[in-house]
Amino acid sequence: MTQDKGSVRYEVDGPIGTITLSRPDKRNALTQHMFARLDEVVGEVETSGDIRVLVIRGESGSVFCAGDDLAELVAMNVVQVRDFLIRAQSTFTRLEALPIPVVAAVEGHALGGGLELALACDLILASSGAAMGLPETGLGVIPGLGGTIRLPRRVGLGRAKELVYSGRLVQADEAKNIGLVEAVYSAHEFDSKVVEFARFLASKSPTALALAKSTINRGMDASLEAGLALEREAFAYCFALPDAKEGISAFLEKRKPKFK
């Protein structure tokens, strides 16, 4: 099933949903219309019980997303910019809170808002030719869609400051070394590796994945004691759900589990 609405395309293949940024003539730069469509798709995924993994990618293999459409931004006044950021940040926060794994498949450049979109995902897979960065300080502004908040949580405070202050591009191998991306694949195998990884995640217990994601995300801002309490309650709750019985039974019976 494919839903194509302008510059954001949404496709469903079994348990895997794919959002494609489709504005290759503008390097998939994000417009207000695209943010509205992204928010709409996130709402569809929220209410769907069938999607187990969501993948986000760019239309052209040469670029993931070049960031916000600057031509739109410069035409706004301060109040309009603030309102835009409220809406855009809300979309990324909803995306981040989805109870399923969200994977950014980054080929080519992921710059500014493009990298911030990837940072709102659970995992980032990169092509060997990928390059990413937050170049906003060179434009006289700062990252505004979560870059200053989410990047330190991925790569550490000092590294995040260096990347934001300098605005430099990080190539794929360095991105993996500093923990910005989880894996790097060669260009010719990138598509197949992304699909393979998404299908692997989709084979796991959806309730366990949802609880694991919630516990990890909430635990990031909790004390050790509070985080352990979150984990303890989530673990115990698993045993009230059918997936734990199915998963453990399948393990003991030496078969593959069939999670619903």
Q: Which residues are catalytic?
A: 116, 136
What is d(CA 1, CA 50) in angstroms, rounded to the nearest whole number?
13
CA distances 160 to 104, 133, 139, 175, 199, Å, are 19, 10, 18, 12, 32
CA of residue 243 relative to chain centroid, distance: 25
- Non-local CB neighbours of 21 within 8 Å, separated by 6+ positions: 7, 8, 28, 30, 34, 56, 57, 58, 59, 64, 65
What is d(CA 39, CA 151) in angstroms, rounded to the nearest whole number?
22
- Non-local CB neighbours of 152 within 8 Å, separated by 6+ positions: 160, 161
Token digits of residue 223:
């004390």
Angle, in degrees to the nearest 10, between helices 242-252 and 206-219: 110
Token digits of residue 6:
């302008």
In 3D space, the residue among 114, 98, 97 whose CA is nearest the CA of residue 106 turns out to be 114
What is d(CA 253, CA 161) in angstroms, rounded to the nearest whole number?
51
Strands (E), the chain: 2-5, 8-13, 16-21, 53-58, 63-65, 102-106, 109-111, 123-127, 131-133, 170-171, 183-185
